[in-house]
Amino acid sequence: MTPYPVNTNLPASKSPLAWATVGNGLLFTAQIPIDADGKVVEGGIEAQITQTLANLKQTLESAGSQVSDLTQVVIYVTDREDLATVNRVYADFVSEPYPNRAAIIVSGFAREEMLVEILAYAVVP
């Protein structure tokens, strides 16, 4: 089966990428804290993780999946101290049985104002 892009209705990226693709029954996606205008949301880590998870949910639904179809989530943050907030907001987003997850501290992202980015994989029914 040839991989195909998912129409997420998220703002088009200036970079050569698709917000999500499906291949072999799996959704592959990377999400960032952008709003409907394609701007990184302000308000710190809580606002950014909330927006990033909203974008992830929108992407899952666009592919015909839902949060419970997630198999793995990788969360990148620029500040270790932000993980407590990320975990609190993330805990309201997912429910048991939880997907596999990793959290990684990085020095920065392509957009300097970003504090978080998520890679996620999900089953597509």
35 belongs to a structural domain: yes
**Model confidence over 42-89: pLDDT tens digits?**
999 999 999 999 999 999 999 999 999 999 999 999 999 999 999 999
Distance (Å, rounded) from C-alpha 1 to C-alpha 88?
Answer: 38
10 belongs to a structural domain: no
3 belongs to a structural domain: no
The 3 state secondary structure assigned to 91-125 is HHHCCCCCCEEEEEECCCCCCCCCCEEEEEEEECC
**pLDDT the model gives residue 1:** 72
77 belongs to a structural domain: yes
**Model confidence over 11-27: pLDDT tens digits?**
999 899 999 999 999 99
64 belongs to a structural domain: yes
The torsion angle over the Cα atoms of residues 82, 83, 89 and 94, rounded to 10 degrees, is 160
14 belongs to a structural domain: no
How many domains are contained in the chain?
1
Q: Which CATH number is 75's domain given?
A: 3.30.1330.40
100 belongs to a structural domain: yes
- Give the residue numbers spanning the domain of 110: 21-123
